[in-house]
Structures are given as C-alpha cells and as structure tokens.
Amino acid sequence: MKIAVSACLLGEKVRFDAGHKHDHFITDELGKFASFVTFCPEHLAFGTPRPTVRLVNVEGNTRVHSNKTGDDLTNTLIHTSRDELSKLENEPLCGIIFKSKSPSCGMNSAKMYLTNGMSDGKEDGVFMAMCRERYPLLPMEEEGRLQDAWLRENFVMQLFAFDKFEQFKVSQPNLGDLVRFHTVHKFLLQSKDEKLYRELGNIVGNRESLSFEVLLAMYELGFKTAIGRKSSIKKTRNVLDHLAGFFKKELTKSEKETLREQIDDFANKLTPLIVPLSTIHLYAKKYDTRYLLDQTFLNPYPKTLALRSHIDGGK
C-alpha cells in the first residue's frame, strides 16, 4: 500500500527553519504496512531554510504572501504544487497524510488572513486544495486530527478498505466476485453508512442488466464514498447486535448475557470495541460461522495496530 505524506512528517528537514515534524505513528506503525511517497511544495519553491508564508484573502481570492517581505508568491507555490501533484499521479496511492496548519499542506486548518492582517478563518493549504480536487474519493487526513483515536481508527480502516478495493479491481473480477466482495464487506459498510450499503446491494443486484464495467464503476463510487463516512458508537452497536444474533441458538443464557453486557459497556464507553469483538470472534471460530469469519469488519486492518483497544476509539 502506498501513501503520500508531507515530507516533514517523515522526519525530512524541509520546514522553513530546516526542522521536521516527525510523526512516529506514521513511520513506525503505518510504515510496517505501507510505503511512502513524499512531497514538499514549499521546499521545492523556496528552498530550506526559507521565510514563512501565509494565506491572504485578497478580494475573495486566496493568495500566498511572504511574511517577511509581503511579496505575492502565489504563482511560484502553485507551480511547485502542480509539480508535486504530477509526481503523485504516477503512484498507485491509497491515501494522503498532510501536515496540519501549513499554508501548503493544511487540511482546512491553514490560517487565512485579511490584507489588514486580521484573521479570516481557516482554509485548505494550496497543495492540499489541489489534492482534494484531484482525488475526491482518496482517503485523506492530516496528522493533527490523527491524534484523535476515533478519527485515526476511521482513517486507517478507510485506507485498508480502499487498498482492498484497488486490489480487487486489478484481479479482473466478474459479477460473482463483486457479489462476494460486497458480502464480506457487509458489516463494515453498515458500520459506516447503512443507506449506502443498501444502495450498493442494489447495484450488485443489477436489475437493469448493466454491463459489468458500468456496474463496477458505480460500485466503486458508492464503496469509496461509504468507507469515507465516519462510524459512530450507535452504528457500531447495531452491527454488534447483528453479529451477536448469529449465535442465538448456540449460546447459553449466561453466555448471551455476558456478550450483551460487553456490547452495552462498549456503547457506554466503559470498554473498548475489542472486548465484544473478541468474544464474537471466539464464538465465530468455535461454531465455525464462516459468514462472520470472512467479514472484514472483524479484521479491517492488521491487529497489531491495536486501534480498537482505546475507549476513545468510539464516538
């Protein structure tokens, strides 16, 4: 899996002061499962070290001004941002991680100023805005937001699901494969967006006998949109209730009660998601419930990332 990352987050000394903002979750955890492509439009434009720049709202247009001289540097930064974007376009990306608050890389977190120096809210950085337009369905986050356990879990799940779909696409699938793909993603999709899950089911049903190419393109759009939605405790709880329902006949009364308590404790933020999920996993193995064991919701990404072990992982 390939992820594009702001170079300074990988420890490259490309910030205005020749420093970096090494993010160890990205390099040490995600790095076990992904390779990185880096970008730094400001280093390319102005070298390192360099005077800082800011975004300025000039009559409704976003401009880039030097903090030192006030010079308008917009065109230079746009030029190198386009170069960096062209570099990314040659890569089979599964996601992008941006440095927060930067006038180039910030994701709705770059400060905008008025020409009189007053603050004018927050916007996408110049390069980030280009990426957002170019890749509307690609998983994207900024490192600041990834400190939040819930956003981090959602993003990592999205990355791995996106990668799965890309692998599926190049495997020359047929309609039967698409039905299977949809089936194993049932609970993951439901934990994101129940309505979209049903719409995807209708696409796979192909009542209008569309060609497989058209069907796959429609499915891709819906699937990538759905995995970009955030899960919630309520939606996850619904999924857990469904999963627990698979063992209605097998479990004793007290086993059912214990599982119910674990689900309640998760919904009340007393225990992390991993607790009821481990129990469900155990029963799925014990009773060889293949349908559940195949569900990506049970293993959406490598378990060593341990993102479901935090109480804050649900909202």
| For ligand SF4, the closer CB: 63 or 99 | 99
| For ligand SF4, the closer CB: 126 or 259 | 126
Residue type, 213: E
- Least spacing, CB of residue 73 vs ligand SF4, in Å: 13
| For ligand SF4, the closer CB: 41 or 139 | 41
Residue 42 near residue 77, CB atoms below 8 Å = yes
* DSSP state at residue 193: -
| For ligand SF4, the closer CB: 64 or 216 | 64
| For ligand SF4, the closer CB: 7 or 56 | 7
Residue numbers at the binding site for ligand SF4 (CB under 6 A): 6-8, 14-15, 40-43, 99, 102, 104-105
- Least spacing, CB of residue 288 vs ligand SF4, in Å: 49
- Least spacing, CB of residue 55 vs ligand SF4, in Å: 13
Tokens, residue 237: 């709880």
The Cα 258–Cα 38 span in angstroms is: 48
- Least spacing, CB of residue 159 vs ligand SF4, in Å: 19
| For ligand SF4, the closer CB: 14 or 73 | 14
Is the sign of the CA dihedral 204, 136, 2, 191 positive or negative?
Answer: negative
| For ligand SF4, the closer CB: 84 or 193 | 84
- Residue that is written with structure tokens 């300074």 in the block: 8
* Among 50, 73, 48, CA closest to 63: 73
* Alpha carbon separation from 78 to 63, 68, 109, 130, 249 (Å, rounded): 10, 19, 18, 9, 63
* DSSP state at residue 271: S
**How many CB atoms are located within 10 Å of the residue 302 CB?**
13
- Least spacing, CB of residue 63 vs ligand SF4, in Å: 17
Tokens, residue 63: 């401009």
Residue 9 near residue 22, CB atoms below 8 Å = yes
